[in-house]
Amino acid sequence: MAEFNLALVDWSRAQFALTALYHWIFVPLTLGLSFIVAFMHTIYYKTGDVKWKNMTKFWMKLFGINFAIGVATGIILEFEFGTNWSNYSWFVGDIFGAPLAIEGILAFFLESTFIAVMFFGWERVSKKFHMLSSWLVAIGSNLSALWILIANAWMQNPVGMKFNPNTARNEMVNFFEIALSPTAVHKFLHTVSQAYIIGALFVIAISAWFLLKKRHIDFAKKSILIATIFGLLSSVFVVWTGDGSANDVAQTQPMKLAAMEGLYNGETNADLVAIGIITGKDSNKKVIGIKIPGMLSWLSFRDVNAFVAGVNDIVNGNLEQGIIPTETRMEKGRIAIDALADYTVAKRTNDMELAAQKLSEFESNYEHFGYGYFNNKKDIVPNVPFTFYSFHIMAGLGFLFITLFIWLLLASLKNKLEKNKFLLKISVWSILFGYIASMLGWVVAEVGRQPWTIQDILPVQIATSNLSVGSVQATFFLFLGLFTILLIAEIKIMLTQIKAGPDEGGKNV
């Protein structure tokens, strides 16, 4: 097998992860805060109460700061597909590029057009059109996320395409199968709903700070009530969509599911780990802790007696359960790779009989194509402890957010928010834990599917560009410095605006 520059692969992955995680600091706040602003703007439109106008303008201002800086990191992220991952872009550009193009043409155009009306339309356009512009910005932002998440979902579960042996590229054959695949639907709903939680926690944290400082009391209490209701509904939706996502992962990425649950050896009536730690070494690894009997089997296949494959089953095979050993898949993958090369030569020499034979050989083994690039069967195993702990911390924080939202809602309805200093202090810090949970969600999604760029088809080691390690390292640290400066700038500008507080003057109009 060919040797790959693993340092180049690792630095390319590190650079993309750096860019993605920095970008994700801004994106969920944009998605969540845009709808909260639209809700407040609608209340102002209905009531004409200047208090709601001032609330809308304050949170809109913070939204605008975040939106502007988020765009800069997003543009760099998309460019990296061409600079650092050109082999990937060549191999699947006909498919992956389509949703990204739609995102740029349709969704980003929508939000960028109406964001000007939203910010500068006060007293310049009708109140109704101005209010609608806030909703169109929110919808546009979420549509932008939709198409990007469709592209990401396709990498996790490649459907709606066919490999063209004449061009050595995957080509789209069914756009709607890609856009409406269960993986895409679950990923979009789960991702945006947890982004709404970030938006809610952001509003709650700032408003709680105002209450602790005994400033803008009425403003803060109303903001907390709106954000709490929005956050609670979003949290319940996250649980529901998380169940759908787990069920989809069980069907399409069994290794990721095994890593998420620390399941090394498959089980029927498999238990779901509520709280646990991974113990043991090598083949004796297992999870000890608090488990819910049969729940993993039910979540995965809607059957408490279903068999859930473990890491060792997938690596070594389990013929009783119909799981092909990885070594067998590696052999078939090499057959597919060699057959494609022989087909290309036969076509070039006009040996059509041999070409037809090799094409048939290739197509019968194509589902194992990506495995042919591995030398060791254990290379298909992701970092199980990292995925396991990331998943369980994320899930644990998710249920804590539900508790926080319920607590805040009860305190708001009983008009006891100002008296509960402990709750307010927790609320101020809740945004930090919201971001931790959100980032860990992406760790689970992306680390859990390693070593694949495209599940079962394209490993990361052959997806990179032909670059020097030094150039990737240089741009890594360049981006690290640039993104850190942008983040510090955003935080500084945000804090300045927050300390200034909302403008509570004006007249009802």
Distant-in-sequence, close-in-space partners of 112: CB < 8 Å, separation ≥ 6: 140
DSSP state of 469: H
CB atoms within 10 A of CB 328: 14
Q: How far apart are CA 259 and CA 383, in angstroms?
A: 8
Closest CA to 187 of 230, 241, 229: 241
Q: How far apart are CA 254 and CA 262, in angstroms?
A: 12
Structure tokens at 431: 């945004």
Please name the residue ranges forming H helices in 366-504: 384-413, 421-447, 469-500
Tell me: pLDDT of 318 over 50: yes
Tell me the three state secondary structure of residue 293: coil
> Is residue 67 within 8 Å of residue 38, measured between CB atoms?
no
Q: Which one is predicted more confidently, 469 or 71?
A: 469
Q: Which one is predicted more confidently, 446 or 91?
A: 446
> Is residue 29 within 8 Å of residue 59, measured between CB atoms?
no
Tell me: pLDDT of 504 over 80: no
pLDDT class of 509 with cuts at 50, 70, 90: very low
Tell me the three state secondary structure of residue 507: coil
Structure tokens at 379: 């290379």
State the DSSP string of 297-314: HHHHHS-TT-EE--HHHH
Q: Which tens digit of pLDDT belongs to each residue from 3-26?
A: 567 888 889 899 989 988 888 999
pLDDT value of residue 78: 76
Tell me: pLDDT of 476 over 50: yes
Percent with pLDDT over 90 in the chain: 70
Q: How far apart are CA 184 and CA 193, in angstroms?
A: 14
| Weakest-pLDDT range from 332-341, 396-405, 469-478, 500-509 | 500-509
Tell me: pLDDT of 1 over 70: no
State the DSSP string of 340-367: HHHHHHHHHTT-HHHHHHHHHHHHHHGG
HEC sequence for 234-275: HHHHHHHHHHHHHHHHHHHCHHHHHHHHCCCCCEECCCEEEE
pLDDT value of residue 3: 56
Q: Which tens digit of pLDDT belongs to each residue from 320-374?
A: 899 999 999 999 999 999 999 999 999 999 999 999 999 999 999 999 999 999 9
Q: Which tens digit of pLDDT belongs to each residue from 434-456?
A: 999 999 999 999 999 999 999 99
Distant-in-sequence, close-in-space partners of 328: CB < 8 Å, separation ≥ 6: 317
Which residue has tokens 């969600």? 441
Q: What is the β-pairing status of strands 307-308 and 267-268? A: antiparallel
- Residue 357 half-sphere exposure toward CB, CA atoms < 13 A: 7
> Is residue 494 within 8 Å of residue 62, measured between CB atoms?
yes
Tell me the three state secondary structure of residue 322: coil
DSSP state of 216: S
- What average pLDDT does range 106-130 have in this prediction? 86
Mean predicted lDDT score pLDDT of the chain: 90
pLDDT value of residue 477: 94
> Where are the extended beta strands (E) located within 70-185?
161-164, 169-172
Q: How far apart are CA 300 and CA 282, in angstroms?
A: 26
> Is residue 159 within 8 Å of residue 189, measured between CB atoms?
no
Predicted TM-score of the model (pTM): 0.91
Tell me the three state secondary structure of residue 171: strand
